[in-house]
Amino acid sequence: MLEATNLSKEYNNFSALNNLNIKVEAGDIYCLLGANGAGKSTTINLFLGFIEATKGSVSINGFDVSKKNMETKKYLSYIPENLMLYPTLTGLENLEYFVGLANKKYAKAEFINFLTEAGLQTNAHTKRVSAYSKGMRQKVGIAIALAKDAKVLLLDEPTSGLDPRASNEFSTLLLTLKDKGVATLMATHDIFRAKQIATHIGIMKEGRLVESFKSEDISLKDLEGLYLETIDS
């Protein structure tokens, strides 16, 4: 579903990403771990088509992102680290607006169902987003992904700054989407969350993917050790 082949990105001779190869299948959650500047966000931006690769290619659902960017955006949903919505519109109106941009049609009741499914409490649906917490905005983001019927979910440190309860709720939502066959690529610093929900884990350092393994093959303690070892080496 999501594939990066020999992917490299350079900025003025500085290698931000070096020969990255990853593949995320439908129903997989791939967690990218790594220190700041390791190239996690660069990878996600390349999948979004916000930046262009220096070498190699990225594809979503079999479409090359650099050539069919508009097509690939139909299948993906993106939740940035700090998902921002229109503050003067309500959560429901924001959902309607963004889903409308994605050219999907739903009845009002269906929009409300998406928000409920994403775990946003009913009384918040018609409140203006200016009063929302980060967790609530992210739930709207998940509702957008649900309504857009996204096959791919790109997440850039979505749980940073969330309280443990909100973080837990978010993880549960990701697992629900996983069961629906969504392929998820998530950049995160949260080793605990990664071990809890990921099917695959990769560790990045200085633009290279240095470790990649199945989540079930490693314990949380070993993962932490491996992470620290990789980062410090």
Partner 1 sequence: MVVIKWSFGNSICSKKQIEMIKLELKNIVRNPLVSILVLFLFIFILFASYNGKSRVNKQLEGIELVKNKENTFYTNHKNNLKSIEEGTKKTPKRVFEDPTNPVAMGNYYGGTYLTVTPAPLSVISNGQSDIFPYYSKVNIGGTNAEKNNDNFENPMNIATGGFDLAFVFVFILPLLIIAFSYNILSSEREQGTLRLLLSMPINIKTWLLKKIVFRYFFLVLLISAILTLSLAIIGVNFSNVTYLILLSSIALYTLFWFGLAFLINLLNKSSSQNIILLLGTWLLFVLIIPSFVNILASSVYPSPSRVEYITSKRAIEKEFEKKEEAILQKFYEENPSEKDKENNTTNRFRKYWNKNFILLNEKNKFMDAFESKYENQSMNQREFANKLSWFSPAIIFQNTMNEIAETDTQHYLSFQNSTKIFQKEWTEYFYSKYKNHQKLTVEDFNNFPKQKNN
78 binds partner 1 (CB under 8 A): yes
Choose, by CB under 8 A, the member of 30, 98, 114, 227 that binds partner 1.
98
To the nearest 10 degrees (0 to 180), the angle between helices 164-179 and 134-148 is 10
CB atoms near residue 167 (< 10 Å): 18
Region of 18-26, 71-79, 115-123, 174-182 interacting with partner 1 (CB under 8 A): 71-79
Choose, by CB under 8 A, the member of 9, 40, 73, 134 that binds partner 1.
73
Q: How far apart are CA 174 and CA 17, in angstroms?
A: 27
Amino acid at 85: L
Region of 100-108, 117-125, 172-180, 200-208 interacting with partner 1 (CB under 8 A): 100-108
Q: 154 vs 191, which CB is nearer to partner 1?
A: 154
Q: How far apart are CA 226 and CA 22, in angstroms?
A: 19
Choose, by CB under 8 A, the member of 12, 13, 36, 105 that binds partner 1.
105
Choose, by CB under 8 A, the member of 6, 21, 88, 219 that binds partner 1.
88
Residue with tokens 């998902």: 83
Map the footprint of partner 1 across residues 170-229, applying CB under 8 A: none
Q: How far is the CB of 105 from partner 1 (least distance, A)?
A: 5
109 binds partner 1 (CB under 8 A): no
Q: 97 vs 192, which CB is nearer to partner 1?
A: 97
Question: Bridge-partner residues for 201, per DSSP?
Answer: 31, 213
Q: Which contiguous run of DSSP H or E holds residue 136?
A: helix 134-148
132 binds partner 1 (CB under 8 A): no
From edge to edge, which strands make up the β-sheet containing 152-156?
76-79, 152-156, 183-187, 29-34, 200-205, 208-214
Q: How far apart are CA 229 and CA 54, in angstroms?
A: 30
Q: 37 vs 87, which CB is nearer to partner 1?
A: 87
- Give the pairing type, strands 208-214 and 76-79: unpaired
Q: How far apart are CA 188 and CA 174, in angstroms?
A: 14
Region of 12-20, 24-32, 97-105, 116-124 interacting with partner 1 (CB under 8 A): 97-105
Cα 173 off chain centre by? 12
Q: Which residues bind partner 1 (CB under 8 A)?
A: 48, 50, 70-71, 73-74, 76-78, 80, 82-89, 93, 96-98, 100-103, 105, 128, 141, 144, 154
